[in-house]
Amino acid sequence: MPYETLLHRWFEEVWNQGRESAIDELAAEDCITHGLQDASGKDVTGRDSFKPFHRQFRAAFPDMHFAIEDSFTDGDKVFVRCRVTASHMGPGLTPTPTNRRVDFTGMCLARVKNGRIVEGWNNFDLLTMYRQLGMELH
């Protein structure tokens, strides 16, 4: 599978469709995810650590949609720039859902080996997302 296709599948199947089993298909068991942090503030490392992170965001935003606006491949790395839209309809980020829409952008650079994502660097505009949810940041 071409590397670019792999990352397109990642966003479509894992995030847009919420298919958790695709994580096992597309990511290496010991993958490292920079820029996405677990409850303790550490980078999410490994598929088993990524799944709770995924569940939390999908619970908070069940209609989450990633639209890839640009992508390219350079060697074993794939870059995507995307727009994320969703409705905050579930628990996870705040004690109660706000029912507000969010629309923010992000970028991901992934390194691929043996047909799976082994490392990813993520930079999403979460400040805009939190502001759209009406959250106070100090």
pLDDT tens digit sequence for 85-123: 999 999 877 778 999 999 999 999 999 999 999 999 999
Phi, psi for 14 (deg, rounded to 5)? -70, -50
Give the angle 78-82-83 at the CA atoms, nearest 5°.
170
Task: Please say if the pLDDT value at position 1 is more than 80.
Answer: no
Domains in the chain (CATH in brackets) are 3-132 (3.10.450.50)
Q: Quickly state the pLDDT bin for 138 (edges 50, 70, 90).
A: low
Tell me if 31 sits within 8 A of 48, measured CB to CB: no
pLDDT computed for residue 18 by the predictor: 96
Amino acid code (one letter) for 125? D
Q: Coil, helix or strand for 24?
A: helix
DSSP state at residue 94: S
Digit-coded pLDDT (tens) for 31-57? 999 998 877 888 889 999 999 989 989
